[in-house]
Every structure is written in structure tokens, then in C-alpha cells.
Structure 1
Amino acid sequence: MKQALYIDCCIRGEASRTRKLAEAFFAALPEAWQVTTVNLMKEDFRPLSGEFFERRETLLKSGKTDDPRFDRARELAAADLIVIAAPFWDMSFPALLKVYIENVSVEGITFRSTAEGLKGLCAAERCVFLTTRGGAYPAGDPLEQAVPYLRAIQMFFGIGDLTCVAADGLDLDGADPEALLANACAEATALARTL
């Protein structure tokens, strides 16, 4: 069975429009996928600093990448499909997602340093980013930094294609947010059926 890793950063919980987009995606994902969910609102991830950082460095220097501290990094590296759901937040996404990425960026698990440079070690051939935005941000808009950042992480970790499904303009004057979200859900559904 193929392994999908769902990174849930829908911080508004059941009221999250991004969660509705994710639910549409997973409802259409073929049964050949076994889905593991990482609910970032329930995890104990912390920014890498102080004693928390020093403990990590000690483990890595002694080659103990099998420590439970790195379970989530190994889980990410082994997944065949990665799905990230996070709303647009301060030109990017909530800090929880960045802290997760910081914690799973582990030398020897998700990437390796080589004589030629960094080499990604993740198995996933695809990453899907599901997001909702109050404003409208066309591709390449410098005010939208979530997708460029995730593209860089995708390359850094050696993950295949990154596809973004976004419900844009939900909070603009005169917008029909239900229709815009429904259109994005239809796009997410169609994408999931191809996997």
C-alpha cells in the first residue's frame, strides 16, 4: 500500500476553510493510499533553540538518527506522497508549519551533504499544497511566499513535483467565498483522483 503523509496546519480546526479543501482532496484519494496525519496543532514541536537545539545537535553528532526525536523526519522521508494543508498567513503560512519543517530537516534522514552539494533523501514523488487565501495572489506575486518556500524545501528534500491548489480571493469585496471554495475543492478532488 502506498503511504501518504498529511501535514495538517489548519489552525482554525473545524472552522478552517483550508480543512474543507483538504477533506475534499482526501475524500477523492484512491483507497490504495494509506494516510498518516500529523496534526501540527497537537504536536510538541518547538523552534530549534537553547537546550532543545543542543540536545538535537548532540544526538546528530553521535550519529543517533534512530532516536525518537527524529521519528517525524523518518516518517516524512519514507512517504510516497506528502500533502500539506495550511492557510495563507502573513504572506506565507502559519509559523507552526515552519517549525515542523525545521524539526524534520535532519542530515542523514531528509537530506545529506555530499561533495557535490546537498542531496534530498525523501522518497515522495509528489507534494500537494492545499491553501486558502483571503486575497488574490497570481503565480509569481512577491507578496505570496508560501509556494516559493515550499518549492525550495521540495528540492532540498528531493521530493518530486509540487502542486498547489488554492482558493484565492475569499475575503475580497464582492467575492462569493462559497463558490470560490467549491471550485478549489473540485480542483483538489480532480487532482486526488489522478494519484
Structure 2
Amino acid sequence: MTQILSIAASLHSDSAQSSQLAERFIEQWQRSHGSATVVSRDLATDPVPHLTAERFAAFATPAAERSPEQAADVAESDALIAELQASDVLVLALPMYNFGIPSTLKAYFDHVARAGITFRYTEQGPEGLLTGKRAFVLATRGGRYAGTERDTQTRYVQDFLGFLGIDEVSFVYAEGLAMGPDHRAKALQDAEQTIAQLAA
């Protein structure tokens, strides 16, 4: 059975527009593709600690030499990675904060990028080890930035996921949500149409 990993990055949790769009995407995906196991991770209610020198050192320490504290730090990272490894589809609810991704999502990314586990270095360069997966990003913005130099999110998320081996990444944009009710309604309508196309 297909497993979907749903990650909500908004500080507003389930009430965020990005989270609601992600939920509708999953509902339509299941209608089109059959039932799937859904694993949900809400970075607002269950945040991942930001990376520290101590945590980074724990990742690099051989398992037999880790202190109990280091073992606990690595176990947290291992659990996040296991969710990714077991999932076929990643659904990411992504608001834009100050032209970038939420810091909680960056912390999550820092914990799942582990050399030798989710990627490795070769003579030809880095190679992602999480292949064979698809990712769908539900991106919400107060203004309109897609296709402009201020959209730092799209390229960053594509590059990061590609680094891990997830090359098939589709974006659904709902932009102009803070530009008045007409802009908001049109943006959400367009996003719903794109969701219907991608989920089918």
C-alpha cells in the first residue's frame, strides 16, 4: 500500500491555508489512486530541534562510541529518516515567511540530510539515496513571487529534495492571499484546479 508523508510547516498548524490545501490534495489523491497510509508530521505542534554543534557531532560519531545523549539525538534523526524512507509520496504544506521557508522546516531538513543514509558522496559528486519517490508542495504566499527572483523557496526545495534523490517535485501555488478578498478567492480557486489535475 502507498504511504504518504504529510509535513505541515506553518506555525498555524492545521488552520493554515497551506495545511488545508495539503489535506485536500491527499483526499483527492486517495480518491484517484485508492486508499493510502498517511503519516502526518506537524512542525508547529511537534517541532524538530534546530541543529547544534552537539547534534552534528552526534551524527558523525560511530554508534558504539556515542554517549546516551548523542544516541538520543541520533535516534530522533533516524526516526524522521525512517518516515521518509518508508513513504512513496511526500506532501509538503509550505507557507512563505520573509521570502524563505519556515525555520522549523529548515531544522527538519537538517535532520534528514545524513551522509551515507539519505545521500552519499561519489567520485562523480553527491548522490541521493531516497529515489523512487514523488513530492508535492502546496506553497502559499501573501504576495506574488512565483517565477521572480524573490521566490527563493522553489529552487531551494527542489535542490534539497533532489540532493536526497527526490527529483519528481510538483508545486501548487496559492499566491496573493494578502492582496484582498478577490485575489485570495482567485488564488485558492486556481490552486484547487491544479490540485485536481495533479492528484488525478
TM over 0.5: yes
Question: In structure 2, which of residues 72, 97, 105 is the aligned counterpart of residue 97 of structure 1?
Answer: 105
Q: Give unmatched runs, 5+ long, in structure 1.
A: none
Aligned equivalents of 2:108, 2:3: Cα separation in 1: 19
Partner residue, 1:48: 51
Report the alpha carbon displacement of residue 172 of structure 1 after superposing the two structures with TM.
Answer: 1.9
Query: Would the aligned equivalents of 1:74 and 1:110 in 2 still touch at CA under 8 Å?
Result: no
Aligned equivalents of 1:190, 1:61: Cα separation in 2: 49
Residue correspondences, number: 190
Identity %: 28
Aligned equivalents of 1:72, 1:162: Cα separation in 2: 20
Question: In structure 1, which of residues 145, 158, 171 is the aligned counterpart of residue 152 of structure 2?
Answer: 145
Q: Give unmatched runs, 5+ long, in structure 2.
A: none
Distance 1:33 1:137, change over 3 A: same
For residue 71 of structure 1, give the secondary structure of its aligned residue in structure 2. Answer: helix
Partner residue, 2:38: 35
Greater helix fraction, Structure 1 or Structure 2: 2
Q: Once the two structures are superposed, what CA deviation does each residue of 1:132-170 show, in whole Å capped at 9, x if it has no partner?
A: 11111232x111111100111122011131110010111
Aligned equivalents of 1:96, 1:6: Cα separation in 2: 15
Higher relative contact order (CA 8 A, sep 6+): 1
| Runs ≥4 residues deviating over 4 A | 59-64
Aligned: 1:5 with 2:13:
no
Partner residue, 2:122: 114
Task: Please give the TM-score of this superposition, normalised by the length of structure 1.
Answer: 0.87
Query: Would the aligned equivalents of 1:74 and 1:109 in 2 still touch at CA under 8 Å?
Result: no
